[in-house]
Amino acid sequence: MFKKILIANRGEIACRVAATAQRLGVKTVAVYSDADANAKHVAVCNEAVHIGGSAPKESYLRWERIIAAAKATGAQAIHPGYGFLSENEEFAQACADAGLVFIGPPPSAIKDMGLKAESKQLMEKAGVPLVPGYHGANQDRALLQAEADRIGYPVLIKASAGGGGKGMRAVDKAEDFAAALDSCKREAINSFGDDAVLIEKYVQRPRHIEIQVFGDTLGNYVYLFERDCSVQRRHQKVLEEAPAPGMTPEMRAQMGLAAVAAARAVNYVGAGTVEFIVEQRADGSMNFFFMEMNTRLQVEHPVTEAITGQDLVEWQLRVASGEPLPLQQDELRITGHAIEARICAENPDNNFLPATGSLNVYGLPECVTFERGSVRVDSGVRQGDAISPFYDSMVAKLIVHGDTREQALARLDEALAQTHIVGLATNVQFLRRVARTESFAKANLDTALIPREQAVLFHQESVGLPLAAAAAVAQTLLRERASEGVDPFSRRDGFHTHGVVQRRFEFEFGGEHAKAWLTYERGGSLHLAVGEGDAAVAGPLVFSERAEGIELHFAGQRTRAAVYAQGEVDHVFTPLGATQITAIDLLAHAGEAAAEGGRLTAPMPGKVVSFAVKAGDAVTKGQPLAVMEAMKMEHTIAAPADGVVQELLYAPGDQVTEGAELLKLVVAEKA
């Protein structure tokens, strides 16, 4: 076993690898960029080396600096994590040339599987079933269009060197192909430095099922069963589970043997994932096709660890140090069911736009870390840390394990309810809604689950105004009580020698203005009325402070509520869900001007890729105006109303800050 390794990655990935290494008595070296100088992964490793600027191309993609850091610190091996350089054959070869062990497959295997087109040809020779498509080297645009027409729409354009949903577009009709190809190639060249694409038939009602494989230097291979990763948005995974619901022992064996055949075909060593697209036929049967092989450990590997009881990072370290696989195929067993939820800084209601900001509140459920248990969290951040625009938007991975899928689902919902994040938008409540859908609960899975269930997934409030207002009022009263002094005139409890006292509260909730009246009744009891007229909800307000939040009774409801104040906004978390309610201070906002119209601003820091219009152009509401790149993804800026473009304020390639005005639009007056 190695005595010291360098981890060529960041965030939760580096923390995950470091935890296993340190459990095995292996010293760890972290590398970090300017943006990550105070990051968690730097703190948890034994040593840390600065390698450059905040952008990945200035630090985490500079493999010569990483190798120099490994040699300077006496590391014997480099673990690439997943992402960045983990599937870079040149880096793997450079490690070997420098006398360092690359904890991953040989460069030849990365090369063979790294380009989707070539890997498809290899798999065809190995007898692994393939989806109909075009995997050739000729990238002539007319040829690609003709091949798409031949295959038949819908088709999927995929970056040949891609992964993680980047450089991928589904095309429904021939006239949309050229624009989708341009976007695909731009994203591919920015993410992978290679704009070659392949084209495949877009399988209807597909499931995404992948097989975890492992090989050692002695020629032994096993598969550690499957993971279902069908629940996706923008071709990126949202929820993953193991084993795959509805999988028969016969099909599991067929897919496992096909995955091992794929690994053998390239003399694979270490952890790898063979991804299959699974066609669900009308008669209930399933057929599978090879999609790609990821020559690294996957983000979703914890669900495999949960059902097998194995530490896959430990397996990686042992195999890389020359040891045989810890177990043979007949020694591996599936125990229970596991589900992983990817918690990301993003706004699902705004097309999953990535978010940046600080984790002002970062509360997690009671859990174990990197060990088998009912609830586990893998995270590379701490409360107070910032989510920057330089890297991907993942905050943490929440993994639950149960004896059955139903038990795992219940634990997932409870754990997500206990996840309290304030300071930036996240997908936590969206994940709860996805897990509660009839489709997911009944394992009616395919990659279109989110679009199919969109009516119950987006723009939903699980906590209504009455409960949100009651929680906000209770929190206000608790803050006032805490600030009271011994002077009786400092009391804020509504005490009067005669009569009753009533206070008015005003809120913004769900884009609407709302009022509430709190009455201090004789004897010290409280009565709250939320809303006006027939729509008002009223009743006694009873609450008490607990370690986990507020115990709240109002309008026939009894619940727990944790309330975090950020300025005027109260973030309310309950077992039902979470919401935000804004307390309005009328004096503080007196005289504020209405928002200026006709401005189009950057929703987050990033780079201007292109403009689809020029000064003087007339545009209609919803028309694409510009494309920005941020957090490794492209985002289209559309016209909010009909109008005329007055001026473009930036040029393609310019870096812009959040809120920067990209162009001026003169909005047409309504007739």
Looking at the annotation, which residues are catalytic? 296
The H or E element containing residue 280 is strand 270-280
| Amino acid type, 64 | E
Distance separating alpha carbons of residues 495 and 500, to the nearest angstrom = 8
Of the candidates 43, 18, 107, 31, the residue with the CA atom closest to the CA atom of residue 67:
31
Can you name the residues that pair with 535 across neighbouring β-strands?
none
- In the structure encoding, which two tokens stand for residue 89, read together? 């054959």
Q: Cβ distance 234 to 266 under 8 Å?
A: no
Contact (CB, 8 A) for 271 and 214: yes
Pairwise CA distance, residues 479 & 569, whole Å: 14
Give residue 193's identity as a one-letter amino acid code.
G
List, in order, residues 6 or more apart from 120 with CB less than 8 Å away: 130, 133, 135, 198, 290
Query: 3-class SS at 264?
Result: helix
Instruction: Supply the DSSP symbol for 638.
Output: E
Looking only at the bridges linking them, the beta strands covering 394-402 and 337-344 are: antiparallel
Q: Rounded to 5 degrees, what angle do the CA atoms 423, 427, 433 make?
A: 135
**Strand 101-102 and strand 77-79: pairing?**
parallel
Contact 139, 196 (CB under 8 A): yes
At 130, is the secondary structure helix, strand, or coil?
A: strand
- Determine whether 535 is exposed, middle or buried from the number of CB atoms within 10 Å of its CB (0-12, 13-18, 19+): exposed
| Among 665, 662, 669, 659, CA closest to 640 | 665
Alpha helices in 116-274 (DSSP H): 116-125, 141-151, 177-192, 249-265
